[in-house]
Structure 1
Amino acid sequence: MFKKISLVFIAALVITSCAKEEVPLKVTPNDYNNAVDKVTEVIIHDIFSPPVASRIYSYSNIAAYEVLAQNNSDYVTLAGQLTDLKETPKPDAGASVNYDVAALIAQMEIAKSLIFSEDRITEMRDSLYMKWEDQNPTELAASKDYGLKVADHIKSWMDGDMYKQTRTMPKFSVNPDNPSRWQPTPPAYMDGIEPHWMKIRTFVIDSASQFKPIPPPEFSMEEDSEFYKQLMEVYTVRNEMSDEGNDSEKVAIAQFWDCNPYVSTHKGHLMFATKKITPGGHWVGIVKIATKKANADLMETVYAYTKTSIALFDGFISCWDEKYRSNLIRPETLINQHIDDSWAPVLQTPPFPEYSSGHSVVSGAAAEVLTQIYGDNFQFDDDTETAYGLPIRSFDSFRQASSEAALSRLYGGIHYRAAIDEGLKQGRQLGQFVVKNLIMKTNTAQASN
């Protein structure tokens, strides 16, 4: 009898020793950076326009932030602050939720629902699931349930933002009889993109027109008019940059901030696209640089991505509202028609009206948010464009970077001075409004920074 009991006891010990001990799951800031990088990779692959890309970044980051904020008393939920966003659901009582894991799952689920190439995010997600399942299946199951619950909540809210309705609205109608109105530009002569983006529901600003800029200079081809002077500035700056490599720094600035997701290239009868990052994607990349330099933990990393992407999202709505209101013709069109039919800008002119400058608006907005988080003298080396063969550029502050991004549009030959200056002002005012009105940290947490 004793022998039988001993054998049973030994067998139990063997089984126990063979059972793998579950370890707490861990998500690092770099894991989250990789997830955002994957979103950028897919946005580039799928060729989403800048406004649509901002929507993908913002909703996926908001989902992650909302998960983490439920478990961190230093941070405040966005429910009740972002337009129409209701209270975020809590996990089931007693569930062994790892909020970091749940946040990353929510981010991936929302991103996957907003892009075409779902398999690229699914592959990344499944790789993480396999690793987590091996480490702690119990914690993974609970975290997955909660992450998907929050993702469903964000999806329900997202569905009310008018995006789906704008997919079926009519194309932008060009008015060829009015010489001041926008016309499609070479080489692809594409239709104006997202002419109804001002109808998208905003997050923090109260309407698309809240930060409506002053009108552009009155259209006139009279040589003493302000409009004509600004047109000639674009023409002259470009010509000076063509002289035997002069002003190579201006060329470098223009190319660094190009951020055109679809550059058409013609070879014979064939046309193909060179795919690149969007303006919002460039600033999302700067968030990564800043959080890594600041050695931010996961919560602060997600916070910085989320607040910046919210400003970018509202910035595009504000800018696109003005673009299709003023509906101003691009410099390239007028220069080719009236001054020099062989003139071409350094950069390919994007397919939408000129005023105000999208780069100026969203760069100004993003820089204000990042300045609030990391201060006005945050030096950083911007390597966002190295993947496209461009060298690193260094900046002493986010506002300095935003000013250069705005001015790059003059050097690129695609914007008049007014669109740049007023666009930057528009974006900074919007960014300051987001900083003031979107409370994401408690008073105690803000005081400790």
Structure 2
Amino acid sequence: MKNTFHKFLLTLFVFAGLIACHDNSDYQEIITDGSYQTAAQIRLTNVIIHDIFSPPVASRIYAYPSIAAYEVAVLADPQYKSLMGQLNGFEPVDFNTEGEIYFPLASLAAYYKVATALIFSEEMMNTHKESAFKEIRSKGIPKKVFNRSLQLGEEVADHVIAYSKKDNYHQSRSFEKYTVSNAPNTWQPTPPAYMEGIEPHWNKIRSFVLDSASQYKTDPPTEFSSDKNSQFYKEAEEVFVTTQNLSTEQKDIAMFWDCNPYKVNVKGHVMFAEKKITPGGHWMGIAAISAKTAGQDWKGTAETLAMTGVALFDGFIACWDEKYRSVLIRPETYINKYIDEEWLPLLQTPPFPEYTSGHSVISNAAAETLTELFGEPFHFVDSTEVAYGLPIREFDSFRQAAEEAAISRLYGGIHYMPAIVNGATKGQKVGHHVLGRVSTKNENLAKVEKQ
């Protein structure tokens, strides 16, 4: 009987010890860097590719979850300044932060909930979330803290989701489709899929910081002409000649920055899609890589992804505003008609008008924002495309990467030079506007911390 009682006490002590180990009060170091949010973003990228969202829509799907994750970082650290009251229509609210909260987990919970609300394949995101939360819980965070943290994250997410619902996106799903014109200077659907024009009303989506979609209206494209002595013909001929004489390096650059989620392959009578990352997804990948390279903690990572998301989102709005104003013919259509009917671009032409280059606009908008955050020079290894069968590329600054992304569209046979040059200028202006309108630091507190 005595031995039985001793065994009972021993079992009780062991059980108590297991509980103590599982619910460890010293849990603050479970999440220190941005690796969990980066993993969530990679998963979101995979879902965006799986669901085949267009580049503009993808920028929306990246931006809102990143904003939600950042708003939790604001609650965790008074040095950070809320985007509420700074972004168009993002009204300030007070969140309930009572009780013991593990803010890195709350930030992650906010990200997952908003991301899941914006996609089709919700189960793909939920499965990833459950795996991440199970891992975090197993590292010793007390159950009460765990649940309270999720509660706060979902509260923040609900506010961001409500904000997203007022950006005119859902209304725009019922807007009329683009009607193709027979005018010789206008965009025509291109082979092999001859897809309709994507997101012709994207300029009606509420921007984050731009006063209007046309705030940085670009000069009109070169006047259309089929005359061999005209400037427009020369610009098309430049595309034709360049693509006929590409170096291996130039081909590699074009392929690296292709980022066309609509690439369609044709073999005999079979047509199938090749799934790729979007241009915005590529730059969100660069943002995550840069945060890790700089050794940022989870709060700094959230800031980086949120600011990059805002810049990309507004960049697409500004770019698409011009695309469907000028509705300019693509090089593939023009060259086949007036120069060489057998010519094919290195890259498949995306299904929307030519002017201005989306890569040029959004890459430069993101580059200006990231340069403000990390400075220049800043060496980073861009491994974003490795998962899609392409090698890494290295850059010494974000502006260098943006310049390469822009010129890649000439190498690919996708754009004339004015769309690239003027698009880059537009993107820089959008980036500077974002930085002029949005502040993520409470400067006085930051100065105190430095002292």
Which residue does the alignment assign to 1:244? Answer: none
Q: Tell me the equivalent position of 2:61.
A: 56
Letter paired with 2:74:
A
**1:114 corresponds to 2:114:** no
Matched, 1:368 2:368: yes
- Which position in structure 1 is the counterpart of 2:3? none
Shift of 1:130: 2.7
Residue 131 of structure 1: how far off its partner (Å): 3.4
Partners of 2:407 and 2:203 in 1: CA distance: 25
What are the residue-to-residue correspondences of 1:39-438 with 2, within 5 Å?
39-93=44-98, 95-134=99-138, 135=140, 136-176=142-182, 178-241=183-246, 247-438=247-438
User: Equivalents in 2 of 1:182, 1:18: separation in Å?
Assistant: 67
- In the alignment, is the contact (CA less than 8 A) between 2:221 and 2:418 conserved in 1? yes
- The one-letter code matched in structure 1 to 2:335 is I
Cα deviation for residue 388 of structure 1 reads 2.2
CA distance in 1, matches of 2:390, 2:147: 43
Structure 1 runs not aligned, ≥5 long: 1-5, 242-246
Q: CA deviation at 1:338?
A: 1.6
Q: TM-score, normalised by structure 2?
A: 0.93
Displacement of 1:16: 4.1
Maintained 8 Å contact 2:65/2:112: yes
The CA deviation string for residues 219-273 of structure 1, in whole angstroms up to 9 with x for no partner, is 11122222111011011111223xxxxx111111111110001210011111100
Any conservation in 2 of the 1:66–1:88 contact (CA below 8 Å)?
no
Distance 1:192 1:233 in 2: 25
C-alpha separation in 2, matches of 1:18 and 1:223: 82
Q: Partners of 2:393 and 2:14 in 1: how far apart?
A: 60
Contact 1:89 1:150 in 2 (8 A): no
Amino acid at match of 1:347: L
Cα separation, 1, equivalents of 2:197 and 2:180? 9
Query: What is the CA distance between 1:58 and its match in structure 2?
Result: 0.2
Name the CA distance, whole Å, in 2 between partners of 1:436 and 1:98. 32
Gaps of 5+ in 2: 1-5
Rounded to whole Å, the distance in 1 between the matches of 2:9 and 2:350 is: 75
Separation (CA, whole Å) in 1 of partners of 2:64 and 2:169: 13
Using the alignment, how far apart are the partners of 1:117 and 1:334 within structure 2?
39
How many residues are matched?
438
The farther-off stretch of 222-231 and 258-267 is 222-231
What's the offset of the Cα at 1:153?
0.7
In the aligned structure 2, how far is the partner of 1:399 from the partner of 1:283? Answer: 12
Give, in whole Å, the separation in 1 of the partners of 2:366 and 2:345: 27
Distance 1:78 1:385, change over 3 A: same
For the Cα contact (< 8 Å) 1:132–1:140, is it kept in 2?
Answer: no
Q: Given the superposition, is the C-alpha separation of residues 129 and 292 from structure 1 closer, same or farther in structure 2, using an over 3 Å criterion?
A: closer
Identity %: 48
In the TM superposition, residue 10 of structure 1 has moved relative to its aligned partner by 8.8
Amino acid at match of 1:183: Q
Instruction: Provide, for residues 62-85 of structure 1, a one-character-per-residue CA deviation record: whole Å limited to 9, x for no partner.
Output: 000011101211110001000111
Structural RMSD (CA): 2.0
Q: Secondary structure at the match of 2:272?
A: strand
Q: 1:337-357 CA deviation, whole Å, 9 max, x = no partner?
A: 121111000000000000000
2:226–2:338 Cα contact (<8 Å) kept: no
Of 312-321 and 113-122, more deviation after overlay is shown by 113-122
- Cα distance in structure 1, aligned partners of 2:241 and 2:19: 75
